[in-house]
Structure 1
Amino acid sequence: MLKKSILVILILISLFLIYVAIIPGDYLIKREIEINQSTEKIFPYIASVKLADEWMPWKEQDPNLKMTYQGPERGVGATSIWESSGNMGQGKAEVVEEILNEKVKTKITYTKPMNFEQISIFKLTKKNENQSIMEWSVEGKNTFLGRLICTLGIINMDKYVGNEFEKGLKKLKGMVEKK
């Protein structure tokens, strides 16, 4: 009886792991906020890697975070590099596309604690002369371990990352509406 129980448990675990291996790993996390300011006034805060770091929530999340910058301050090639012994690990974010007053697309490469890449997009939409919608999204492909963690419910990635996006967007809104 014990052998049969162990065999059933092993089969169930194997089926679960097969399920995790074949489910799509693609993800998209997106949040937006309405800002009482023109796209022209907001854009510098998403185009400059240094200004963007002033409103992004990562420094508050990880006090051990050290930032360095390479390339131009803004535009294609602008790069921020982070290193932390805490929550954020190590990686870099490089601007790969910029459309003036509309969009900044960034390739994010993580090197520690895991190697993976994502694409982050800041998108501005003009609502009227003094109101804009700022959208922040990230997309990528989860590794097997990432899919396992999400499937087990250990981390709800949309909720976790989305909450951080909301904090950053609120901070950005506060900064640019004061100007």
Structure 2
Amino acid sequence: MLKYAGIALAVALVVVLAMAAMSPDGFRVERSTVIQAPPDKVYGLIEDFHQWRQWSPFENLDPDMQRIYRGPQKGPGAVYEWKSEGRAGEGSMRILSATPASNVTIRLEFVEPYQARNTAEFNLREEGGATRVTWAMYGPTPFGAKVVHLFFSMDSMVGKDFEAGLANLKRLSES
């Protein structure tokens, strides 16, 4: 009986590893909303990391989180580092490019609780007197993450946070 259980476990492991090997080498999570405010107002809240405490859902993960801002106040080269003993972990963001009232591209580096390097993008488009904001994050999926993604997708892990952040950004921009 023990022999058959071991064989079944080995077969299951081989199936999981084969499925992971065939899964995509990258991921993308994206959410969008329409905000009744001009693009430049929304853009100002995104391109300045000092403003993120007002709308980013990740800012509420740990009230004792340490924050360090380096480089320019906002726009390309601005850096935001965080360190938390709680759920926020440790990492940094650097604005790679920023096109006024249109796009902000950010390099994300996570150190704890796991290491990862991803890209986040905010695209703003005027739409009927309002602004459509699309928040996306994408990056590579190494083999270990592919195994995890078989059971927990990146979309399920951060999609709701993106929705909450966009709702906060909407509320703040429309007030």
**TM-score using structure 2 length:** 0.92
CA–CA separation in structure 1 for the residues paired with 2:71 and 2:44: 17
Partners of 1:69 and 1:107 in 2: how far apart? 15
Equivalence for 2:92: 92
Matches within 5 A, 1:1-179: 2-128=2-128, 130-152=129-151, 155-178=152-175
Equivalent residue of 1:122, what SS? Answer: strand
Q: Quick one: distance in 1 between partners of 2:49 and 2:159?
A: 20
2: CA distance between counterparts of 1:143 and 1:170? 31
CA distance in 2, matches of 1:136, 1:51: 16
Q: CA RMSD in A?
A: 1.6
Q: 1:66: Cα distance to partner? A: 1.8
Q: CA deviation at 1:24?
A: 1.4
CA distance in 1, matches of 2:153, 2:15: 22
Distance 1:11 1:27 in 2: 27
Distance 1:170 1:4, change over 3 A: closer
Runs of 4+ aligned structure 1 residues displaced above 3 Å come to none
Greater CA drift, 30-39 or 5-14: 5-14
Where do 5+ consecutive residues of structure 2 fail to align? none
Query: Aligned partners of 2:53, 2:71: CA distance in 1, in Å?
Result: 16
The answer to whether the 8 A contact 2:27-2:154 is kept is no
Q: Which runs of 5+ in 1 are unaligned?
A: none
TM (norm. structure 1) is 0.90
For residue 72 of structure 1, report the CA deviation from its aligned partner. Answer: 0.4
Task: Tell me the number of residue pairs that the alignment of Structure 1 and Structure 2 aligns.
Answer: 175
Q: Percent identity?
A: 25
- Alignment partner of 1:63: what SS? coil
